[in-house]
C-alpha cells in the first residue's frame, strides 16, 4: 500500500506529468515518476490516480496496456503491448489455429512502438497467451469519434506466436483491472464536464440573472452531480469487492453516468459548448469512446442481467 506522504508525493508528481504531457511523452514521464513501480506495489492507488487525472485533463497514454498486463499477471517489459478486445466487447481478441493465430482487437498508441505484443487467445474455451512480433500484425490508425486517443485497430491472420501459459482466470482479471481503470477515466472526464457546465451556469447571464438561478438548469446539474457521485461510489466498492462482476458493474455505471453528464453539460453550455472553441466537445467524444473500451455499458448490463436471470439469485454483496 502506498499511503500518507508517499501517496501525496506520487499524486503530485503524476498530476504534473499528466498536466504537462500527453501521448508518448506522458508514457515516458510516467516511467520517470515511478508509476510503473506503483502499479506493481499498489494497483488501486496507481490506477485510480492516473486514470482520474487522464479523464480530467483529457491527456492520453498507453498505460492501459500495463494495467491489463498487470491483471494478467505478466511482467510487461517496456517494449511490449497488449491487444485489447474489439470496441464494445470483453472477449479475448485472439483465436489460436494450432501454432498460429488470428486476432482482431484494439491497441493503444504504444503498440506501434512495441517490438512484441501480447495477444490473449480464447479457443474452444481454452485461454492462453501468445507473444507475437508486432511487425507481423496489421495495425491501422483509428480516427473515429476521438482521434486524439491514438487508438489503433489490430488484426492478424495466421501469424506465428510463442505460446506462454496463463493462470486460470487471468483474462477475467486483466479485463476487470482494465475496466476499473477506464471507469476512473470516465469519472474524471465526467467531473471535468460538470465543472465546465457549473462554471458556465454561474457566469452566464440571461434574463438579467445567472442561468444557475433557473431550476431547470439547477436540476440538470444536480442530476449530473448525483451521476458522478454514484459512479465514484461504485468504483470504490468494485475495488473493495475485487470481483469481476463488481468491476463490470462499476464500468457500466461509469459509462452510463458519463453519457448522462455529457448530455446535461452540453445542454447547459448550449451554443458555446457545441463549438470547438470550448473544451467540452473533447470530453464528450472522449467518454463515448471510453464507454466502448472493455465493454460498453449496454453490453455489460445486458450480460449481467442475463446471468442474474439464469442463476435466479443475487450474488453475494459487499459487506458493510
Partner 1 sequence: MELDEFRSTLDSWLDDHHDELAAHHDPHASLDDDMAHLSAVKRAAYDAGWMRWGWPERVGGLGGSSLLRAYLGEALASRDLVEPGIYSMTEVLAPTMIDYASPELAAEMVPRLLRGDETWCQGFSEPSTGSNLAALSCRAVRTDGGWRVNGQKVWTSLAQYAQRCVLLVRTGTPESAHRGISALFVDMDSPGISVRPLETMHGVEEFSEVFFDDVDVPDARMLGDEAQGWAVAMDLLPYERSTALWHRGAYLHQRFGRFLTDVPNGAVDASDVGEVFQQLFALRARSRTTQHRMHAGDPLGAETSVDKILLATTEQALYDLVLDGLAADLRVGAGSSADRWRSEYLYSRAATIYGGSAEIQRNIVARRLLGLGSDR
Task: Determine how many CB atoms are found less than 10 A away from the CB of residue 114.
Answer: 22
The SS3 call for residue 87 is: coil
State which residue, 83 or 194, has the beta carbon closest to partner 1. Answer: 194
Place of cell 439547477: 218
Q: Kindly state the smallest distance separating residue 198's Cβ from partner 1, in Å.
A: 6
Strands 80-82 and 162-164: unpaired
**Residue at grid coordinates 458556465:** 200
Q: How far is the CB of 110 from partner 1 (least distance, A)?
A: 32
Relative to beta strand 94-97, strand 100-107 is: antiparallel
CA 278, chain centre distance (Å): 24
Q: Which C-beta is closer to partner 1: that of 248 or that of 280?
A: 248
Task: Report the residue number, 98 or 319, with the smaller CB distance to partner 1.
Answer: 319
| H or E element at residue 286 | helix 280-292
Contact 242, 233 (CB under 8 A): no
Partnered with residue 16 across adjacent β-strands are none
45-48 — which CB contacts under 8 Å span 24+ positions? 45/1, 45/2, 45/7, 45/10, 46/2, 46/10, 47/177, 47/180, 47/181, 47/184, 48/180, 48/184, 48/235, 48/239
Secondary structure (3-state) at 117: strand
Provide, rounded to whole angstroms, the least separation between the CB of residue 283 and partner 1.
18
Minimum CB distance to partner 1 smaller for 86 or for 218: 218
Bridge-partner residues for 154, per DSSP? 105, 139
Between residues 118 and 182, which has the closer beta carbon with respect to partner 1?
182
CB of 210 to partner 1, least distance (A): 7
Nearer to partner 1, 131 or 245 (CB): 245
Q: CB of residue 279 vs partner 1: minimum separation in angstroms?
A: 19
What are the residues binding partner 1 (CB under 8 A)?
A: 198, 201-202, 210, 212-215, 218-219, 221-223, 225-226, 229-231, 233-234, 236-237, 246, 249, 252-253, 298, 300-306, 308-309, 311-314, 317-320
Torsions phi, psi for 147 (to 5 deg):
-60, -25
Nearer to partner 1, 40 or 226 (CB): 226
Q: How far is the CB of 250 from partner 1 (least distance, A)?
A: 8
The least distance separating partner 1 from the CB of residue 165, rounded to whole angstroms, comes to 33
| Shortest CB 278 distance to partner 1, Å | 20
Which residue's CB is nearer to partner 1, number 153 or number 204?
204
Cα gap 156→85, rounded to integer Å:
13
Amino acid at each position: 500500500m502506498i499511503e500518507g506522504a508517499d501517496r501525496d508525493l506520487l499524486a503530485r508528481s503524476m498530476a504534473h506529468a499528466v498536466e504537462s504531457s500527453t501521448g508518448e511523452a506522458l508514457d515516458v514521464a510516467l516511467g520517470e515518476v515511478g508509476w510503473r513501480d506503483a502499479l506493481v506495489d499498489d494497483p488501486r492507488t496507481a490506477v485510480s490516480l492516473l486514470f482520474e487525472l487522464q479523464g480530467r485533463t483529457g491527456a492520453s497514454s498507453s498505460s492501459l496496456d500495463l494495467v491489463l498486463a498487470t491483471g494478467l499477471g505478466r511482467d510487461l517489459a517496456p517494449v511490449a503491448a497488449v491487444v485489447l478486445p474489439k470496441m464494445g466487447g470483453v472477449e479475448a481478441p485472439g483465436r489460436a489455429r494450432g501454432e498460429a493465430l488470428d486476432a482482431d482487437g484494439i491497441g493503444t498508441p504504444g503498440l506501434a512502438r512495441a517490438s512484441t505484443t501480447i495477444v490473449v487467445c480464447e479457443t474452444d474455451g481454452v485461454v492462453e497467451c501468445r507473444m507475437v512480433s508486432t511487425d507481423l500484425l496489421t495495425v491501422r490508425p483509428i480516427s473515429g469519434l476521438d482521434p486524439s486517443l491514438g487508438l489503433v485497430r489490430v488484426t492478424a491472420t495466421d501469424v506465428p506466436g510463442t505460446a506462454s501459459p496463463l493462470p486460470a482466470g487471468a483474462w477475467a482479471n486483466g479485463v476487470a483491472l482494465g475496466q476499473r481503470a477506464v471507469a476512473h477515466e470516465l469519472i474524471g472526464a465526467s467531473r471535468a464536464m460538470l465543472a465546465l457546465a457549473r462554471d458556465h451556469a454561474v457566469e452566464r447571464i440571461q434574463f438579467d440573472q445567472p442561468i444557475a438561478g433557473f431550476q431547470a438548469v439547477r436540476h440538470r446539474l444536480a442530476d449530473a452531480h448525483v451521476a458522478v457521485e454514484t459512479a465514484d461510489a461504485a468504483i470504490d466498492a468494485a475495488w473493495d469487492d475485487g470481483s469481476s462482476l463488481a468491476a463490470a458493474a462499476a464500468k457500466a455505471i461509469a459509462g452510463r453516468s458519463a453519457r448522462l453528464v455529457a448530455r446535461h453539460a452540453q445542454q447547459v453550455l448550449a451554443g458555446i459548448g457545441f463549438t470547438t472553441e470550448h473544451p467540452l466537445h473533447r470530453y464528450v467524444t472522449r467518454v463515448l469512446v471510453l464507454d466502448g473500451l472493455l465493454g460498453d455499458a449496454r453490453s455489460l448490463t445486458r450480460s449481467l442481467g442475463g446471468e442474474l436471470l439464469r442463476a435466479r439469485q443475487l450474488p453475494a454483496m459487499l459487506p458493510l
